[in-house]
């Protein structure tokens, strides 16, 4: 799946290198999180519900944060670059996760997979926006870096866990979970647009 992106990265030139690096980082941490989730689920003897609602949000959000921390510590980017890097990493993570889900479960129920893909993608974007937007703010203040980063990670984990909990519960709650992140993104976009006017 990454090979077309690698070819595109070679053709696009150095100006687009960061974009592709964060795409690869998002896909890489998605793959790594699958192994770590499985390890912790086996270690704690967690059933599917517990693994989905308790283990996966923590592992996935921590791993999505790691490339951003590396970027912040090594390159000291501007605030806008941090936000973009976080969203690209989250989108790439969600895309790779959706492809893996499709391969694992097949396309027999296309409408279910379609709504799951949109909901999960929106949830990961929201978590990326929480962390990216927050890091752009807290990393400008030396006294707030550690506590702020931990707080942002906690907020992203909590939102992710609520989403996964509703999905794992099933029924109507599952469909509410699919639409909730999309509605939050739309509301956030409308509020941002009004504030800029």
Measured between alpha carbons, how far is 116 from 174 in angstroms, rounded to an integer?
Answer: 9
Q: Is the pLDDT confidence value at 48 over 70?
A: yes
The two three-digit tokens of residue 195, written as one number: 């504030």
Beta-carbon contacts of 86 under 8 Å, excluding residues fewer than 6 positions away, are 64, 68, 128, 129, 131, 132, 133, 135
Q: Is the pLDDT confidence value at 25 over 70?
A: yes
Measured between alpha carbons, how far is 142 from 160 in angstroms, rounded to an integer?
Answer: 28
pLDDT tens sequence across 121-168: 999 999 999 999 999 999 988 888 999 999 999 999 999 999 999 988
Share of the chain above pLDDT 70, in %: 98
Which pLDDT score, from 0 to 100, does residue 197 have?
Answer: 67
Which pLDDT score, from 0 to 100, does residue 157 have?
Answer: 96
Q: Is the pLDDT confidence value at 91 over 90?
A: yes
Residue 46 DSSP SS3: coil
User: What share of residues in the chain are helix, strand, coil (percent, to 5)?
Assistant: 90, 0, 10
32 compared with 76, residue with greater pLDDT: 32
Measured between alpha carbons, how far is 61 from 59 in angstroms, rounded to an integer?
Answer: 6
Taking the model in full, what pTM does it have?
A: 0.89
Measured between alpha carbons, how far is 56 from 136 in angstroms, rounded to an integer?
Answer: 25
Which pLDDT score, from 0 to 100, does residue 159 have?
Answer: 95
The two three-digit tokens of residue 81, written as one number: 């670059």
Q: Is the pLDDT confidence value at 181 over 80?
A: yes
Which of 15-24, 77-86, 161-170 comes out lowest in average pLDDT? 15-24
What integer best gives the mean pLDDT of the chain? 89
């Amino acid at each position: 799946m990454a090979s077309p992106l690698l070819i595109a990265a070679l053709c696009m030139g150095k100006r687009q290198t960061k974009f592709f690096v964060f795409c690869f980082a998002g896909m890489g941490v998605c793959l790594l999180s699958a192994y770590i989730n499985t390890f912790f689920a086996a270690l704690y003897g967690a059933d599917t519900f517990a693994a989905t609602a308790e283990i996966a949000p923590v592992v996935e959000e921590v791993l999505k944060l790691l490339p951003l921390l590396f970027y912040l510590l090594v390159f000291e980017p501007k605030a806008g670059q941090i936000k973009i890097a976080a969203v690209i990493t989250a989108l790439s993570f969600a895309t790779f996760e959706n492809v893996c889900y499709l391969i694992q479960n097949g396309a027999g129920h296309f409408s279910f997979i379609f709504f799951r893909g949109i909901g999960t993608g929106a949830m990961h974007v929201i978590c990326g926006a929480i962390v990216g937007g927050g890091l752009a703010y807290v990393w400008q203040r030396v006294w707030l870096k550690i506590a702020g980063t931990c707080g942002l990670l906690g907020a992203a984990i909590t939102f992710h866990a609520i989403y996964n909990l509703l999905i794992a519960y099933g029924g109507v709650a599952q469909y509410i979970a699919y639409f909730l992140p999309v509605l939050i993104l739309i509301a956030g976009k409308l509020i941002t647009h009004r504030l800029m006017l």
